[in-house]
Structure 1
Amino acid sequence: MLAGPAQAKAKQEVWNFDRLDRIGDLRPRILGAPKIEQASVGKAAAFDGVGDAIYLGRHPLAGAKQFTVEAVFRPDGGAFEQRWLHLASDDPVNQTRVMFEIRVVGNAWYLDSFIKGKGYSQVLIDPVKLHPIGRWYHVAQTFDGTTYRSYVDGVLECEAKVAGFTPQGPGNASIGVRYNRVNFFHGAIRTLRFSKRALTPAHFEMPATVK
């Protein structure tokens, strides 16, 4: 069942990247030298695409049977493959993943969303759906127990049925890089919002500057 506003807020965890000493209720581990900048959407963490990253000791969707991940971010070009959110469980045998990546083609990018666990693995990607670099976007991925979907600025990009999904276990997160320190992100991130419900675009929290 899709969530209404009251249900969604009750099960949300929000990471605002307006400071580097604390994000949500977590103390981050910093790699390189990401910087806090003032932007049209508020303060955001900027990553250089070479060695900047943030690590946090939590998988905020652990135990969720349904979920939504929302992000407000700005891709600034650079390498073709960039991973900017990586949630992974601690289980060395069955390490699960929830990820956001982008692919950069010239002055444009397209979204890559991915989930993986025991018995399921699904990517959502469409190279035809290109977006200009250098501006702010709201992106989201949702799973309602049956269907996995991705969105850019509230518009559906891709969807696929996922069979055999089981909730992911406790773990950690890397922001601005793949967890093993490759595929660095060049751009900025304002917010990551995690909901243990499948939200519809009407309930996404998009800044006015990206609506």
Structure 2
Amino acid sequence: MAPTQLDGRRTGGTKKIKRMPKKHKNLYHTYEKKLHHIVNWRKEHSMESAIDTCFPSVAGAKRTTVWKQILRSESQRDHITMACSKARTRDMRTLRKQGISTTLTRIAEENIAQWAMNVALEQGLEANQFKASPSWMKGLMKRWGLAIRANLADGEKARAEFKTSIRKVIKDNRIVEVFNGINYDYLPKQTMDNKVSRLCGSRRLVTTRIA
């Protein structure tokens, strides 16, 4: 069969546009690279040598920016060394505690919260009326890893009472060994009663349910 010849019409496919090469390239340094390639090199060499070795493509006014970056890394030597000591964090570029702002300190954030409360009081709002929205509370709890829960979980009080009562039964009846009926499939032939011992009537039924 002869190949089909196209009549020159457009097929309707998507036109592919060639992506232009990037003119700029951002440099990202992990904690391991900061410690071994920048901070340690700067400790034994001059600042100009550190810039020429670690940032060979930087020239002009950008050298001043790199100069400040190296000084900042030197001041954070303890923090960088701590991050490099763990395999989980040595390949990271930024490490901070959960919930800490990227630009403000903890004291500054507390001052902002106090300032907002003072403004609310000046506007005539009481402390219990100045509340955050549900979306803000959700973001705060997610940021700090918080959760709303009751003082006692469901059944927690019942478990505590059962723990006390079962110990009393073991002590009063001088029980030496306690078996787990689910794991060992142990069913007694007699039930424990305060008045008289009697045979278990539904032993087969209980065995079937456990199995």
Q: TM class, shorter-chain normalised?
A: under 0.3
Larger Rg: 1 or 2?
A: 2
The structure whose residues are more often helix, as a share, is 2
Relative to the length of structure 1, the TM-score reads 0.17
Relative to the length of structure 2, the TM-score reads 0.17
Say which structure, 1 or 2, has more relative contact order (CA 8 Å, 6+ apart).
1
The structure whose residues are more often strand, as a share, is 1
